[in-house]
């Protein structure tokens, strides 16, 4: 059985650091980074220690439509 790998990407300039995506990601694939964006928010980013499974929950929850998820193939 093959397992699809996915990659989550946050558009940092759109993020308002609300934490919703981080709270609801069951794979701990997102985290808040340590840099401010131009709006003055610490923004979400992919967590290299997590493993995105492409469930898309974060993309549905994000009020700023700041998250994209890509399939990296099988």
Q: Which of 5, 20, 33, 37 binds ligand SF4 (CB under 6 A)?
A: 20
Tell the smallest beta-carbon distance from residue 9 to ligand SF4 (Å). 10
d(CA 31, CA 58): 12
User: Residue 31 interacts with ligand SF4 (CB under 6 A)?
Assistant: no
Segment (H or E) for 20:
helix 20-24
Q: Does 39 bind ligand SF4 (CB under 6 A)?
A: no
Within a 10 A sphere around the Cβ of 32, how many other Cβ atoms? Answer: 18
Residue 10 has phi, psi (to 5 degrees) of -105, 130
- Residues in contact with ligand SF4 by CB under 6 A are 6, 8, 10, 15-21, 25, 27, 29-30, 43-44, 52-58, 61-64, 66-67, 69
């Amino acid at each position: 059985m093959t397992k699809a790998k996915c990659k989550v990407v946050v558009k940092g300039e759109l993020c308002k650091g609300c934490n919703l995506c981080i709270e609801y990601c069951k794979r701990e694939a997102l985290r808040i980074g340590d840099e401010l964006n131009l709006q003055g928010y610490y923004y979400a980013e992919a967590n290299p220690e997590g493993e995105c499974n492409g469930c898309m929950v974060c993309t549905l929850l994000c009020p700023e439509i700041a998250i994209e998820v890509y399939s990296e193939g099988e």
